[in-house]
């Protein structure tokens, strides 16, 4: 019996026929590993959608408003706008980082900044720290999101490239839906 992933090729097969596997992708170990590795850049789109919907939902939670001393409409506007400002600031260096040091470096640096911003946002005690944390999240997600679709397009198996890039864009909406669905259930958490 032939090992899993082995294929019978005829002399009439072209090199392209030999390289491109057909059949079920999950029967080929290398394709399973590749697709599992591509989950990391796919998550960047999901996380950005989740964060955007979460921030809008938090502003309607009374405990959150009380914790921050009932922010004014200007402060609430700043909370939402500062993430976009962070994204704008990250836009010029993001392509340079990805082209110079690689897509993976852009994703890793962006994810690290986003994680630091999320931790700072979680632990914040005042409005100014919250604004800085939101800026960091916007800056980091832009670095990661500019590199992620490129990495997916470059590394995805040719027959999987179109579905994976379409999935990348769709995951942004999935993140928003999940945050919108479960945020009301999380409002019972008391801020201290």
What's residue 59's pLDDT?
Answer: 81
Q: Is the pLDDT at 142 greater than 90, yes or no? A: yes
Instruction: For domain 27-186, give the CATH number.
Output: 1.20.1250.20
Under the banding of pLDDT at 50, 70 and 90, the label for residue 187 is: low
Rounded-to-integer distance, Cα 192 and Cα 14, Å: 66
The string of pLDDT tens digits covering residues 22-41 is 677 777 788 889 999 999 99
Q: For residue 10, what is the DSSP state?
A: -
Confidence at residue 151, expressed as pLDDT on a 0 to 100 scale: 94
In whole angstroms, give the CA distance from residue 55 to residue 61: 10
**pLDDT single digits (tens) 110-122:** 999 999 999 999 8
Residue ranges per structural domain of the chain: 27-186
Q: What is the pTM of this model?
A: 0.81
Share of the chain above pLDDT 90, in %: 53
Q: Would you list the DSSP string of 79-111? A: HHHHHHHHHHHHTTHHHHHHHHH-HHHHHHHHH
pLDDT at position 51: 87
């Amino acid at each position: 019996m032939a090992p899993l992933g082995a294929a019978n090729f005829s002399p009439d097969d072209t090199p392209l026929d030999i390289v491109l596997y057909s059949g079920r992708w999950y029967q080929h170990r290398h394709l399973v590993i590749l697709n599992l590795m591509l989950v990391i850049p796919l998550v960047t789109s999901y996380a950005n959608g989740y964060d955007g919907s979460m921030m809008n939902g938090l502003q309607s939670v009374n405990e959150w408003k009380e914790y921050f001393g009932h922010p004014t409409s200007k402060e609430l506007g700043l909370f939402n706008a500062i993430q976009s400002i962070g994204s704008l600031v990250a836009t010029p260096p993001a392509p340079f980082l990805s082209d110079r040091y690689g897509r993976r470096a852009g994703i890793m640096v962006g994810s690290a900044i986003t994680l630091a911003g999320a931790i700072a946002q979680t632990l914040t005690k005042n409005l100014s720290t919250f604004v800085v944390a939101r800026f960091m999240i916007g800056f980091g997600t832009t670095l990661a999101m500019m590199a992620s679709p490129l990495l997916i397009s470059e590394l995805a198996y040719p027959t999987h490239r179109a579905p994976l890039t379409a999935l990348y864009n769709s995951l942004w909406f999935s993140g928003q839906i999940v945050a919108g669905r479960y945020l009301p259930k999380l409002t019972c958490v008391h801020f201290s």
